[in-house]
Amino acid sequence: MKRKGISKKIRFEVFKRDSFKCQYCGRSAPEFILVIDHIIPVSKVEDNDIINLITSCFDCNSGKGKIELSDDAVINKRKKQLDELQERREQMEMVYEWQLSLVHLEEEMSYNAMEYFQQFTPGINYNEVAQQYLSKIIRKYGFAEILECIRISTEQYIIKSYGLATIDSAKKALDYIENIASCRKKSKEKPYLQELYYIRGILRHNFYCVDWLAIQLLEKAYLNGNNIDKLKEIALDAPNWTAWRTSMENLSGEKSL
Ligand SMILES: [Zn+2]
C-alpha cells in the first residue's frame, strides 16, 4: 500500500520520532523495512499531519497482525511526543541564541577595551590584530581586570609628543597589558612573590644576576621554610652570584631535609 504525498523529510521526522521502530510490533530498521502508516486512514481524513503518521513495519502495515490503533490514546501519545520534540527544538534554539549573545558580548567587551586603550593613546589607530589580542586576554583575565591593566600599562609606558602618543610607546603599552595581568594574577596567587622580587632587586644591585633563576631559587628556598628576612640577609651578604646560588641550593635542596 503506497501512500502518496508524504515527503522524504516528513518520513524522516516520523521515523526519528518513533526511533526507527514499528510502533505496532517493535521491529526496527534496518532489519525490517519501515513504512509510514496513517493512524486515521487516509480514506477517512485527508491528513498528512505528522500527528496522524506512525512508523510501521511492512507486515504490520499490510494488515498481518495489525492491532487497531485508531483510538485517541495513541493520537494523544503521539501528540505528547511531538510536543516534547518541539520543546527540545525550542530549547536547542535558545541555547544557540544564548551562545551567540555570548559571542556578541565578547566582541562588545573587546571593542570597548580597545576604545578605552585608545583614549590613552591619542593619534594612534589600531588594527584587527590588536582587537583580537584584547579579546583573547579578556577571556583569560576578565574584562574589569584588563581595563585596570590598560590603565596601569598606559600610565607607565605611553610617551607623548605634541599631545600625541608615540607609536613605539603605544605598541609597548599594548604588549605589556598581558604581562601586567599575568603578574597581577601571580602575585594574587603567590603573595610572597612581591618580596622575592624585592630580594632579587638586591642581587641585581650587587652583582650580575640571572633573573629567572634567581626567582626560582628564592621561591624554592621560601617554600622550603626559609623566611623572607633570612633570604634578604643572605642576599645582602652574598659576595657574588655563584656564592649566593650555592647557598640557595643548600637551603632548598635535599640537604635541608
Ligand atoms: Zn510491525
Hey, what amino acid is at 27?
R
Q: Does one domain contain both 244 and 176?
A: no
The total domain count for the chain is: 3
**Interval between CA 34 and ligand 1 midpoint (Å):** 8
Residue 55: helix, strand or coil by DSSP?
strand
* Whole-angstrom Cα Rg for the chain: 36
**Interval between CA 8 and ligand 1 midpoint (Å):** 20
Q: Does one domain contain both 213 and 242?
A: yes
**Interval between CA 66 and ligand 1 midpoint (Å):** 8
Average pLDDT of the segment spanning 116-121: 96
Cell of 9: 523529510
**Within a domain: residue 151?**
yes
Q: Does one domain contain both 185 and 203?
A: no
**Within a domain: residue 88?**
no
Q: Does one domain contain both 142 and 202?
A: no
Q: Does one domain contain both 166 and 219?
A: no
**What is the tens place of the pLDDT at every residue in 226-254?**
999 999 999 999 999 999 999 999 987 64
**Interval between CA 77 and ligand 1 midpoint (Å):** 18
Q: Does one domain contain both 180 and 197?
A: no
Per-residue model confidence (pLDDT) at position 64 = 53
Q: Which residues surround ligand 1, an ion (CB under 5 A)?
A: 22, 24-25, 57, 60
Q: Does one domain contain both 31 and 44?
A: yes
Per-residue model confidence (pLDDT) at position 66 = 47
**Within a domain: residue 79?**
no
**Interval between CA 18 and ligand 1 midpoint (Å):** 12
Average pLDDT of the segment spanning 196-225: 92
Per DSSP, the chain holds a count of helices (H) and strands (E) of: 10, 4
**Interval between CA 21 and ligand 1 midpoint (Å):** 8
**What is the tens place of the pLDDT at every residue in 78-112?**
777 777 777 777 777 777 777 888 889 999 999 99
Query: Rounded to an integer, what distance in angstroms lies between the CA atom of residue 184 and that of residue 190?
Result: 10
Helices of type H across the chain: 8-17, 58-61, 72-120, 128-141, 143-157, 167-189, 193-206, 211-223, 228-237, 241-252
Average pLDDT of the segment spanning 63-78: 64
**Interval between CA 57 and ligand 1 midpoint (Å):** 4
How far is residue 4 CA from its own chain's centroid? 48
Per-residue model confidence (pLDDT) at position 42 = 66
**What is the tens place of the pLDDT at every residue in 126-177?**
999 999 999 999 999 999 999 999 999 999 999 999 999 999 999 999 999 9
**Within a domain: residue 128?**
yes
Query: Rounded to an integer, what distance in angstroms lies between the CA atom of residue 144 and that of residue 45?
Result: 63
- Domain of residue 244 covers 193-256
- 251, 233 in Cβ contact below 8 A? no
**Within a domain: residue 78?**
no
Model confidence, pTM: 0.51
**Within a domain: residue 91?**
no
**Within a domain: residue 208?**
yes
**Interval between CA 24 and ligand 1 midpoint (Å):** 5
**Within a domain: residue 80?**
no
Cell of 162: 605634541
Cβ atoms within 10 Å of 18's Cβ, excluding its own: 19
Q: Does one domain contain both 23 and 45?
A: yes
Q: Does one domain contain both 208 and 183?
A: no
Contacts of 110 (CB under 8 A, 6+ apart): 131, 132, 134, 135, 138
Q: What are phi and psi of 165, to 5 degrees?
A: -75, 145
